[in-house]
Amino acid sequence: MIVKDEEATLERCLNSVIDFVDEIIIVDTGSTDNTKKIAKNFKSKIFDFEWIDDFAAARNFAFKKASMDYILWLDADDYIDDINREKFKLLKESLNKNVDSVTMDYSLIRDAAGNTSFSLKRNRLVKRERNFQWIGRVHEYLEVFGNIIDSDITIMHDKLKAATDRNLKIFLKMAEDKLPFSPRDRYYFSNELYYNGRYEEAIRNYELFLSENKGWIEDNKAAYNNLIRCYRIQGNDEMAINTILRYLKEYKPTGEICCSLADIFSSQNKIEEAIFWYEAALKCEPGERHLGFNNKAYYTWVPALSLVVCYSKLQNYEKAYYYNELAGLQGGDMNKINYNRRYFQHKFLELKKELPKLKLDLRFDI
């Protein structure tokens, strides 16, 4: 692990692995809080690393300090729950020593029921003797090859620290120093500009990244999605639609792309068109991720709740009610769903008064 000022989450992380790891390597990059004290309570081997605006350098330093056969890497705001701890123990007992790397799911966002709605896969457990290297000053990645197997183990992520412009500053310094940007650097630099509200610059860099056509396919898809958001924030729906069409020339529709197009139609009060694309999102298949992001929400409750609004505008309350219940089954926000239920209960009572002969067999569980 590499850490800095992680007293709020480090204990949770280490408690979740202490019963199956054989050593804990903590590389501190300049903590001023109780991070080191907490690490010492777990008999960790603690090393200092002078921060040089380079995450890969810090991680490679940490990997060199490891002495066991395999290395598991974690961030301080990661942890492993009870179910996955048991899976990890079984993996440790059964792992073939010919395996070079084990991929695991990374649960980034969970719905109201606790089910993962946004995740990706990462190479989490790697053979030390292969000397795999981290690459990239920011948003670094571990370059892995050889015998790689997938596992059903999930690492949980629960960030408590507020977002900062730290990563953006590193990229800006790289640009100022005229350091070369890899396609991956360009993609993540664009993301940091977007996250920090610098939309014009983000658009320029996303367009440059896509025009070079050298990025990883999953990064290309994500760049299109964020580029669409930038144009929409600027109120430029025409460019947003053009970008969606460019995406569809290269890739098959995804739930996120369908929802983006539907959102534009909805904002223009083109309700029938919006309904078509929200329903299309529900029919899309997420497909295989191959270490890419998987945002299940755009294939399930996000379009379902949007359809509630669309059908309500058309006064088709039975269909609106149906999609509200579907969103509830798919992990949508129960506060919104229960609010909608009360609204529909009131609306159906009004309809019964207006149309005494209308038979509605609807049950409400509020």
Query: Where are any strands of DSSP class E within 190-258?
Result: none
Interatomic CA distance for residues 297 and 306, integer angstroms: 12
Interatomic CA distance for residues 84 and 164, integer angstroms: 31
Average pLDDT over residues 308-316: 96
Average pLDDT over residues 211-220: 94
- pLDDT on residue 350: 79
- pLDDT on residue 333: 92
Q: Is the pLDDT of residue 141 over 70?
A: yes
Q: What percentage of the chain has pLDDT greater than the value 70?
A: 94
- pLDDT on residue 366: 41
Average pLDDT of the chain to the nearest whole number: 93
Q: Is the pLDDT of residue 272 over 60?
A: yes
- Interval 335-348: pLDDT, tens: 999 999 999 988 88
Q: Is the pLDDT of residue 355 over 70?
A: no
Q: Could you tell me the CA-to-CA distances from 277 to 117, 248, 287, 311, 325 in Å, in that order? A: 21, 13, 18, 13, 19
Among positive and negative, which fits the CA dihedral 209, 175, 191, 78? Answer: positive
Considering only 94-103, 132-141, 157-166, 296-305, which range has the smallest mean pLDDT? Answer: 157-166
Interatomic CA distance for residues 62 and 84, integer angstroms: 24
- Other CB atoms within a 10 A radius of the CB of residue 30 amount to 12
All residues at 6 or more sequence positions from 360 whose CB lies less than 8 Å from its CB, including other chains:
318, 348, 351, 352
- pLDDT on residue 183: 97
- pLDDT on residue 44: 96
Q: Is the pLDDT of residue 351 over 80?
A: no
Give the pLDDT band of residue 290 (cuts 50, 70, 90). low
Give the pLDDT band of residue 146 (cuts 50, 70, 90). very high
Check residue 128 and report its DSSP letter.
G
Cβ(167)–Cβ(138) under 8 Å?
A: yes
Give the pLDDT band of residue 292 (cuts 50, 70, 90). low
115/209: higher pLDDT: 209
Average pLDDT over residues 136-149: 96
Q: Is the pLDDT of residue 288 over 70?
A: no
- At 2, list the tokens: 């590499």
* Element holding 55 (H helix, E strand): helix 55-65
Q: Is the pLDDT of residue 356 over 60?
A: no
SS3 78: strand
Average pLDDT over residues 6-35: 97
- pLDDT on residue 297: 93
Give the pLDDT band of residue 315 (cuts 50, 70, 90). very high
Interatomic CA distance for residues 258 and 265, integer angstroms: 11
Give the pLDDT band of residue 361 (cuts 50, 70, 90). low
Average pLDDT over residues 312-335: 94
* Amino acid at site 349: L
Cβ(89)–Cβ(26) under 8 Å?
A: no
Q: Is the pTM here over 0.85, yes or no? A: yes
Interatomic CA distance for residues 218 and 356, integer angstroms: 55
